[in-house]
Amino acid sequence: MAKKAKKKAVPKKKAVPKKKAAPKKKAVAKKVVAKGPGIEALAKRVQILEDRQAICDLKAIYAEICDDKYNPDRMMPLFTEDAIWDGGPKLGRYEGKKAIREFFTGVSSGIVFAVHYFIQPTRLTIKGNTATGSWYMWMAGTMGSGKAGWLAGTEDEVYVKVKGKWLFKELKLNLLFATPYESGWHKDQFGVL
């Protein structure tokens, strides 16, 4: 019978006392001194950017609705009750939502197809709940007479913010030409109207 080997006893290591951790320092908020505009000024600047984008969105929706055969049901929520839509001597001036609605209801028989481009918002100025702006307008369309035409101009606008939403208060179209596709503006400036 084989003898069992005796295991040697391993001396226990002495426990090293843990050093006490230094007390944690309390976080002290540092006062940050902003250089330049304060938080209020920054908030105003952000609001202006948001308002500018909302006005650009309003104009994009307006173009979309014009291309939807000037759908008056979709168009009317974009205007204030006392709004003015002024198309100048060629298209007329309409004051108040009722008159503007009647204009857009009838215009689709005069322009049966249209693609509107409103580009380069210029002089878009926002002051509180009012704003002004101007856009270049380019339109390809088919008139009720069957003629294809190009229309171009600028639109000068006044906007107001009502219950947090930007609306058209005034829209004035300054038509530069409304010419037949075949002729061009240099031969027949307003030949399609």
Residues of the chain with pLDDT under 50: none
Tell me which DSSP letter residue 103 carries.
H
What is the pLDDT, as a whole number, of residue 193?
86
What is the pLDDT, as a whole number, of residue 3?
56
Query: Would you kindly state where each structural domain of the chain is located, as residue ranges?
Result: 39-180
What is the pLDDT, as a whole number, of residue 56?
96
CA distance 167 to 169: 6
| The two structure tokens encoding residue 178 | 């409304």
As a CATH number, domain 39-180 is: 3.10.450.50
> Quick check: helix, strand or coil at residue 186?
coil
pTM summary value: 0.78
What is the pLDDT, as a whole number, of residue 109?
92
What is the pLDDT, as a whole number, of residue 52?
95
Whether 113 and 33 have beta carbons less than 8 Å apart is answered as: no
What is the pLDDT, as a whole number, of residue 122?
82
Q: What is the CA radius of gyration of the chain?
A: 35
What is the pLDDT, as a whole number, of residue 35?
58
